[in-house]
Amino acid sequence: MQDAKYQICSRCVMDTTDPEIIFDEQGVCNHCHQFDEITRKRWFPNEEGKNRLETIFSEIKDKGKKHEYDCIIGLSGGVDSSYLALVMKDYGLRPLVVHVDAGWNSELAVYNIEQIVKHCGYDLHTHVMDWSEIKDLQCAYLKAGVANQDVVQDHAFFASLYHFAVLNNIKYVISGGNIATESVFPKAWQHGAMDSINLKAIHKKFGKRKLVNYKTISFIKYYFYYPFVKGMTVVRPLNFMPYHKQQALEFLKDSIGYKEYGRKHGESRFTKFYQNYYLPTKFNIDKRRAHLSSQILSGELTREIGLAELQKPLYDEAELYDDKAFIAKKLGITIEELGQLTYSPGHEYSDYANWDSRYKIMLRVKSFINKIIGRNIKGYS
């Protein structure tokens, strides 16, 4: 239930749990204005988008025709990437499918991935991470007390994806990221997963073993080497078509027998715990607000439906207990210790070394180059 001390946007469902939110005279927040003035211009759920997507896919197929794969896609088993995998099949693309197993896969995720790959006839490369290193790094992040506990999985996912792209001379990375469900993302809520300086600083302070097999991506590689030296391009096809998550879910169920997780990010047991319990408990962050607001702005949901969804509990008590027990046992700690790490005061990512200063310099350089050449240079991220 919305606490009376928090002001909520009159158009979406974002509220002042985002400390940087701003409202106009009508009570409409800055996220809504950002969507109207900037984000909407990059979203094409119409005939123009269809034409653009056909052009993009035609280019991908043409440039990759001499190679075994013309693009690469990371598959988590979630709705976005799963639906996109089927769309790519319809367009005749030949992706290398990469799945990164960081030790938290639910059984349903494994099943769904198998169904997708079998249906589409794709080659799947599953990269199984060194659990002893993942465990040590995950515990370090919990001890650091930062908001984004998914960095451990997310950084490993992208590092593996880019590694296999380079190895197979693939220039196009296909992403399930999309405006329809992800346009609202408060910067104050968490730090990005690609900051390897931050990751290493946290592990150095709280980790107990050396990371040998866990590979990271440096600032230079992420923002310069991959896009400008290797010529890699990220494509988000869902931004060029009408995308409704519930409709996509029903399509997956009918097409391949896809099994629903019951809640967002149910494909990862740790992510489910982190988003639905750790974040709300430790930082008073309910990420449903951002996702629902995105769907409201894209027209998939009404504000009334969004408000009703927020009244539903984040966790079933019995399911929460089971997940706590599972996570604690897998990490080699007690449920009580997991509770202490969850309820202890949170820390900002900036309490540890990070790449913010480098990022600011890069933005200044990028702005200068844009003025010189008269067009915008798109960064890899």
Cα separation of 177 and 154, whole Å?
13
Give the closest residue to 164 by CA, choosing from 105, 197, 124, 132.
124
Residue 381 has pLDDT above 50, yes or no: no
pLDDT attached to residue 1: 44
Give the closest residue to 304 by CA, choosing from 7, 2, 12.
12
Category of 265 on φ-ψ map: left (φ > 0), alpha (ψ -120 to 50) or beta: left
For the domain that residue 140 is a member of, what is the CATH number?
Answer: 3.40.50.620
Q: Is residue 220 part of a domain?
A: yes
Give the closest residue to 185 by CA, choosing from 34, 2, 302.
34
Q: Is residue 8 part of a domain?
A: no
Give the closest residue to 103 by CA, choosing from 326, 367, 338.
326
The amino acid that residue 124 corresponds to is L
Residue 332 has pLDDT above 70, yes or no: yes
Written as one string, the DSSP assignment of 209-251 is S--SS-----HHIIIIIIIIIS--EEE-GGGGS---HHHHHHH
What proportion of the chain, given as a percentage, has pLDDT over 70? 96
Least confident of 98-112, 193-207, 343-357: 98-112
Cα dihedral sign, 70-73-77-79: negative
CB 13 within 8 A of CB 293: yes
Q: Is residue 28 part of a domain?
A: no
Q: Is residue 15 part of a domain?
A: no
Mean of the per-residue pLDDT values of the chain:
93
Range of the domain at 338: 46-372
Q: Give the H/E segment covering residue 167.
A: helix 151-167
Written as one string, the DSSP assignment of 248-304 is HHHHHHHHH-----SSTTTTBHHHHHIIIIIHHHHH---THHHHHHHHHHTTSS-HH
Q: Is residue 99 part of a domain?
A: yes
pLDDT attached to residue 377: 58
Residue 2 has pLDDT above 90, yes or no: no
Residue 375 has pLDDT above 80, yes or no: no
The number of domains in the chain is: 1
Q: Is residue 9 part of a domain?
A: no
CB 118 within 8 A of CB 110: no
Considering the entire predicted model, what is its pTM? 0.92
Half-sphere exposure of 253 (CA within 13 A, CB side): 9
Q: Is residue 29 part of a domain?
A: no
Dihedral over alpha carbons 240, 99, 267, 60 (to 10 degrees): 10
User: What mean pLDDT comes out for the span 42-66?
Assistant: 96
CB 124 within 8 A of CB 97: yes
Q: Is residue 31 part of a domain?
A: no
pLDDT in tens, 125-158: 999 999 999 999 999 999 999 999 999 999 999 9
- 265 band by pLDDT with thresholds 50, 70 and 90: low
- 372 band by pLDDT with thresholds 50, 70 and 90: confident
pLDDT in tens, 153-190: 999 999 999 999 999 999 999 999 999 999 999 999 98
